[in-house]
Amino acid sequence: MLIQQITIKKKVSMTGVGLHTGVQTTMTFKPAPENFGIRFRRVDLPDSPEIPALVDYVVDLRRGTTLGIGEVRVHTVEHVLAAIAGLQIDNILIELNNIEPPVGDGSAKPFVDLLLEAGLEEQEAPKDYLIIDQVIHYQDPQRGVEIVALPTDDFRVTVMIDYNNPALGSQHTGLFDLEKEFVSEFASARTFCFLHEVEQLHDAGLIRGGNLDNAIVIVDRELTKEELDKVAKKIGIDQAVILGATGVLGDKPLKYRNEPARHKLLDMIGDLALIGVPIKAQVLAARPGHAANIEFAKKVRKLYEQKKLVKKYQHEKKEGVVFDINAIQRILPHRHPFLLIDKIVEFQIDERVVAVKNVTMNEWFFEGHFPGKPIMPGVLIVEAMAQAGGVLLLNGVENPGDKLVYFMGINNVKFRKPVVPGDQLVFELHMVSRRSKVVQMRGQAFVDGALVAEGDLTAAIVDRESGK
């Protein structure tokens, strides 16, 4: 796989009709600087607003992937993103003068050809690969969808589709070398739908730009000549339409026997580009679609954000430790004698944190609480729990060093057992809800697996200078 970041050498443009909206759009690919990422820019709108190609900005998944910020939208981005990701381009600006990119022939090939015409250029900065080092699993039992990412040292994708439909049957395909196989084996696979879906899609305001030159329509039921003419008129096809022997409306030949499966893999590459970085993983997908792809991409992006946060604060890798005491001091403002956690051993961004406090006889509070009968004050157990919660608030806080966490409420606190010198306190904090700058967490403290304290914490994130 490539090591350096990639952009294109010059700007290139194409004009065409959008698949779902039917609008005429000119799309221009432009070179971008290092660490710019992939961004869409709507040059037809005031101030030319931009939308980063990230899963955070997905706003609609009806038969395609739509990005949006506020009222600004870019529809059906997956084929354009597949071309960019398939060519391993990291930094590029995509300018559009309308709401949807041209559909071309329904594949990623027109965009691949245009980008290759522009030429690829290596940049000095290294690629920021996300190396998958744990199994990531997404499942939707109702739809029979399952997507798994497994650790490996390169990028591979295997896709199986099965629509329980005799017109298509089961198909599978696999990509094992992006550089060698994407352009020749997958970029030209076209989008498809079933005949019974055509009228439904049209009635839903979709496929306004669809025709038999940019989509495969798979015949999945018998049609009379009158019914066939009605469907053709519905989707705006003027020429005579025949069923033929290929199983495809208009008797269009498939480019590959398993072209639908290849196109599903193409869609997945485009949707996974929304993770924001290329990944090293083996992805196995059964019956994927845009909704499942995006949910899976969200899980992978969360892992990326978590790794990025850990790398920012934990400068030395230690077995069994996510954040050591030095990292904790970079995260929290507390200092001796009021820094009450020693290390973080588990951290799931926006979900859960596990912190450890080793309680020794040297603790300052044992001198007076109580002489001859040292017991850790319950209020300090809750404070330590709250400090662990402060670490859990890392994500979504810009410049955490400039922020403080003020606790607004501590409810349902219960102390089950005393904590004494020699104990090791393990704190588990779970995120309950997060609304803007107000967060609710559930905390528990354990010693040797036994619950010693618990409570519900509500906190506000405020600016360090103003306290607001």
Question: Average model confidence (pLDDT) for the chain?
Answer: 90
Is the pTM value of this prediction over 0.95? no
Of 213-217, 249-253, 273-277, 329-333, where does the model show the most confidence? 273-277
Numbered ranges of CATH 3.30.1700.10 in the chain? 136-301
Token output for 338: 């009021």
Reported CATH class of domain 314-463:
alpha beta
Numbered ranges of CATH 3.10.129.10 in the chain? 314-463
Strands of the sheet containing 12-17, edge to edge, are 12-17, 24-31, 92-96, 38-42, 50-52
Residue 241: its pLDDT value, please? 47
Numbered ranges of CATH 3.30.230.20 in the chain? 4-126
Say which CATH architecture domain 4-126 belongs to: 2-Layer Sandwich (3.30)
Residue 400: its pLDDT value, please? 60
Give the torsion sign (CA, 253, 256, 258, 259).
negative
CA 111 to chain CA centroid, Å, is 23
Place 72 in a pLDDT band, splitting at 50, 70 and 90: very high
Q: Model confidence over 352-395: pLDDT tens digits? A: 999 999 999 999 999 999 999 999 999 999 999 999 999 988 76
CB atoms within 10 A of CB 209: 22
In angstroms, the CA 152 to CA 135 distance is 10
Residue 180: its pLDDT value, please? 97
In angstroms, the CA 207 to CA 412 distance is 54
Place 240 in a pLDDT band, splitting at 50, 70 and 90: very low
Tell me: pLDDT of 106 over 60: yes
Q: Model confidence over 13-62: pLDDT tens digits? A: 999 999 878 899 999 999 999 999 999 999 999 999 999 999 999 999 98
Fold for domain 136-301? lpxc deacetylase, domain 1 (3.30.1700)
Q: Catalytic positions, please?
A: 290, 369
Tell me: pLDDT of 259 over 50: yes
> Residues 22-27: contacts with CB within 8 Å, 24+ apart?
22/208, 22/209, 23/98, 23/99, 23/100, 23/209, 24/98, 25/96, 25/97, 25/98, 25/99, 25/100, 25/101, 25/102, 26/96, 26/97, 26/98, 27/80, 27/94, 27/95, 27/96, 27/101, 27/102
